[in-house]
A = this chain, B = another copy of it.
């Protein structure tokens, strides 16, 4: 997913209007040395990639929360992000056996192969009926 300067600025004007996210000149003089995406913009882009490539529309029931986010490296205009998602745990609900909670470790990686963000995210998901075959 390509990171666009106009989108960095538009997102941050609305949701995170700190100078290093909205003002390229001020950002040059900041500790970041240039414009960087809001960390919340990076989580939002991660979510888009998860919805497109990882979550099933048939089973996704939303998310109860996140156990950790680490913003490790700046995300800059022109970066191209991709994901590595690993399921750490998938546990049936005790009260609602038709659903369960999936714990996923998601690494967001830039075009140089460097991990810019890690997120440990939970999802609620519908379960197949016990004994059902994949695709049934």
Most B CB within 10 A of own CB, among A62, A64, A65: A62
Number of copies: 2
Give the number of residues in A that approach B within 8 Å (Cβ atoms): 34
A34 to chain B, nearest CB (A): 13
Most B CB within 10 A of own CB, among A31, A40, A63, A70: A40
Complex interface bits, A36-66 against B, C-beta within 8 A gives 1, otherwise 0? 1011100111011001000101001111111
| A residues apposed to B, CB below 8 Å | 11, 14-20, 31-32, 36, 38-40, 43-45, 47-48, 51, 55, 57, 60-71
Contact assessment for A16 and B64 in the assembled complex, using a CB-CB cutoff below 8 Å? no
Contact assessment for B18 and A48 in the assembled complex, using a CB-CB cutoff below 8 Å? no
